[in-house]
Amino acid sequence: MQLSSDWSRERWKEAFNRAGKRYTPQANVALPFETYLESAIQEPAFFDRFDRLIPELRSSQQRLAHISTTVVTVADMTKYLIPRESSAMR
């Protein structure tokens, strides 16, 4: 048995035909197994999802870089703005 796109399509057709009127696209439930199978057989659709995510990931990375710089700056400022306990107060 060879796991391929054709094999997967044939299994889908068989399941669809067995289900008959019981199957409707609205009742379809996406399962993570499909993604696992796509990755195992290196289906192009699996890699296409990553390609579509790259711009979003880059944007998130830039936002996080900006936030981390801001957080460090705020943390550094609080060292000077919030008085520490003096030895007399202990």
Residues 34 and 51 in one domain: no
Say how many domains are in the chain.
Answer: 2
Token pair of 78, please? 């609080």
pLDDT tens for residues 46-71?
A: 888 889 889 988 888 888 887 766 66
Residues 4 and 33 in one domain: yes
Task: Round to whole Å and give the CA distance between 40 and 58.
Answer: 26
- The residue segments making up the domain with residue 17 are 1-42
Residues 28 and 9 in one domain: yes
Token pair of 21, please? 């009127």
Alpha carbon separation from 38 to 5, 11, 52, 65, 76 (Å, rounded): 8, 14, 16, 33, 47
pLDDT per residue of the chain (90 residues) written in tens, 0 to 9: 677 778 888 988 998 899 888 878 787 787 888 778 788 888 888 888 889 889 988 888 888 887 766 665 666 666 666 656 554 554
Residues 10 and 48 in one domain: no
Q: Is the pTM of this model over 0.85?
A: no
